[in-house]
Chains A and B, each alone.
Chain A
């Protein structure tokens, strides 16, 4: 009995519930003869779209700051880079097959550089508020989104694809990515398993996410990466060993912000539209929930947690609507379920964080 209990404790009650729930939903989908193969294709696609953003949690958790609820800072940097790529029409100027790729790399480069600087500043703020990082990051994340709403509204863009259809200035609600790099990674090297009605494998995006994962993995194998890990495990010990704790924390959070920026670019290209304004408001919470479902705690996270957590979370989000629609005759409780699962998992992780990043004693 105690053995069962210890295993359950190790996996975590909410993770167990989520896994069971996922299994039941998959089972129901199969039993009710829903088009499971096409859903698997879109789960893979969404896994790729969210992967990098969830990956952004790794450096911030491992450097001791805890889940980065303020990943919105990186997100707005990514949106800015993407808008610049559209504004300058990089895809059109380069032209040919290579155009969209140039546009994508331009966006990634610009926003990564921008995000690094923003992240360093952000890290300095977080070093000043040790002990309350999670609360402060949440509200910084929220306020930056609304600050950027004001900026988007009046930003002096001139490209016809960005500004409101009736002219003037400002970014429209949904900017189409067709002219730049919409769907680029999704379609690159994509193929069907089992004919046109089979499972679509979006090779490009999967490879991209795995490469980013590999990059982060390798980064944590370097000297700096190991130092960041040491700071996360025990700041006093790290200090005693001559590691500059504050500097490592800044590096961790800056890396997280950069990954957040790249993450939203990947997300945007998969979605096909750039959503400015308040659309990214709750993305931070979804990322935190995904990595926690994967098995991370507020003090420790691995690449595997990202891969598994994103798959489970996105799988639930995609499979629940059709199943609930089918079973409950036209009602869609999926968004309610998402809210409960997402926040329940975060709450559980917070309650388990003993002496973690948030403890001020």
Chain B
């Protein structure tokens, strides 16, 4: 009896996560069929993860605001590219150039997002198709801008970028200007700056609350301050120790080192918390700490096993890019703890209820779209600084498509999406993106077919996922109707 129930649970779990399971199987089958070099696959997937995740995370807020999958993030990507043209033209490089691009693209993205939000308010219920079409439409305007207006109407004197006098050259090279500007920032710098910023923020918050006479949780403030100071100290001390500086002070962190340090920290954290809180034996915390320790130990041991060691050693993580991705995740969680986030969620659940609760639905939807567009613009900056060279006219066209496909693979649907689904989706989707062509080449002996397979998978995932969701929704509606009539 018990066994049967357990089996039922597993079956239910598999069924609930059918998209993920299907993709996991596909990834494994393709890897096995292709006989792929795992070091290569792992390296590619980690690079693509750093490159793409921010863009995918931009989809979450509009999704929870009831706008569905925001295919319109394409316009955010355009804002980023427009900013990059000028930043490169003015000759800014490195982190300065990147920060200037962020500053420049934000107002453009807010403006585009505002327009997009207005449009979504005019096409309620058809936002997804409208977002898709607006992407094509904006593509046309963008092309007009890039190929004819820059240099043709707007003065833009740069023979390197505009060989004909008007219209940017087709391939835009960021080597020597913005390429790897974010990726190359070392972990220790990120830690130092991050800790300093959080300390400053804490101080400002503290003083503000004191002036207003709000109640201050002193213990909490001290705890946070200690964390910040520890961060600064670790960063400064590590820079002086050659061993640690080698590991963490360079432009990339080798995955082996990251796992070693991470798992040790994890074990220490779990043990300390265990001793401090002393959870009951069958409580959730107890299981969590045990699981943490076991996973950490397994990972730690894996760094010494020969096969996995080779794979781990070949992966180099861009610390700052991953930190920015984490910030995006944090932002998505944080915003739903604010009043605005609560309103967004209410609007997403039911517009009629939100209106009767006094929420300006249209305004909230525009704000959600704006936030998404800005995040997409920043995400595109992260993407392009890693890519290095991009197609001036067409780079942005597929941004929405791949982002949506990735998050849907992670198990999201048109009404519900989380950070976890975005991250899982990016990993699965891009693993398949890497291994599917290899497998196709092996099986069919022709790499040309792999492009078709890739595109079929991308579009197929979106079609099936959206259709299944609409189908379930329709079923539910029908059931509700039936019940209503039965009651009547």
Given the known inter-chain contacts A146-B459, A147-B456, A154-B444, please indicate yes or no for A339 contacting B470, CB distance below 8 A. Answer: no
**Are the CB atoms of A134 and B126 closer together than 8 Å?**
yes
Q: A150-B456, A336-B147 are contacts. A347–B133 as well, Cβ < 8 Å?
A: yes
Give the number of residue pairs across the A-B interface with Cβ within 8 Å: 131
Kindly list chain A residues whose C-beta atoms are within 8 Å of the C-beta of B136. 285, 339, 342-343
Q: Is B349 located at the chain interface by the 8 A CB criterion? A: no
Contact B140 A336 (CB under 8 A): yes
Contacts of B125 in A (CB 8 A): 131, 358-361
**Is residue A271 contacting chain B, with contact meaning CB distance below 8 A?**
no
Binds B, one of A49-57, A113-121, A137-145, A198-206: A137-145
From residue A154, how far is it (CB to closest CB) to chain B in Å? 7
Q: How far is the CB of A296 from chain B (nearest CB, A)?
A: 16
Fill in one digit per residue for A311-344: 1 if any B CB lies within 8 Å of its CB, else 0: 0000000000000000000010100111110111
Q: Which residues of the other chain, B, contact A32 by a CB distance below 8 angstroms?
A: none
Do A138 and B141 have beta carbons less than 8 Å apart? no
CA distance A154 to B444 in the complex (A): 9
Interface core residue of B137, B141, B148 (most chain A CB under 10 Å): B137
Complex contacts, B132 vs chain A, CB 8 Å: 135, 138
How far, in whole Å, are A285 and B125 apart by their CA atoms in the complex?
A: 20
Which bracket fits the contact residues of B?
Answer: 35 or more
* Interface residue A38 (Cβ < 8 Å from any Cβ of B): no
A139 touches B463 (CB 8 A): yes
**Which one of A140, A150, A338, A350 lies within 8 Å of B126 (CB-CB)?**
A350
B460 interfacial by beta-carbon distance below 8 Å: yes
Task: Kindly identify which residue among B140, B144, B466 contacts A135, using a CB–CB cutoff of 8 Å.
Answer: B466
Nearest CB in chain B to that of A154: its residue: B444
The answer to whether B82 has its CB under 8 Å from any CB of chain A is no
Question: Does A239 make an interface contact (CB < 8 A)?
Answer: no
Chain A CB within 8 A of B467 CB: yes
Q: Is A353 an interface residue (CB 8 A)?
A: yes
Tell me, rounded to whole Å, the shortest Cβ–Cβ distance linking B451 to chain A: 9
Interface residues of A in 281-333 (CB under 8 A from B): 285, 331, 333
Given A350-B123, A359-B125, does the pair A139, B144 have CB atoms closer than 8 Å?
no
Q: Any chain B CB within 8 A of the CB of A132? A: yes
Contact call A340/B144, Cβ cutoff below 8 A: yes
| Residues on the B chain within 8 Å of A342, using CB | 136
Interface residues of B in 451-469 (CB under 8 A from A): 452-453, 455-456, 459-460, 462-463, 466-467, 469
Query: B140 and A139: CB pair below 8 A?
Result: no
Q: Which of B123, B128, B449, B459 contacts A142 (CB 8 A)?
A: B459
Cβ contacts A to B, 16 pairs, < 8 Å: A125-B467, A130-B474, A132-B414, A136-B467, A139-B462, A146-B452, A277-B452, A336-B140, A336-B147, A339-B136, A339-B137, A339-B139, A340-B137, A347-B123, A347-B130, A359-B124
List 6 A-B pairs, minimum CB-CB distance, nearest first: A339-B140, A139-B463, A358-B126, A343-B137, A129-B470, A340-B140
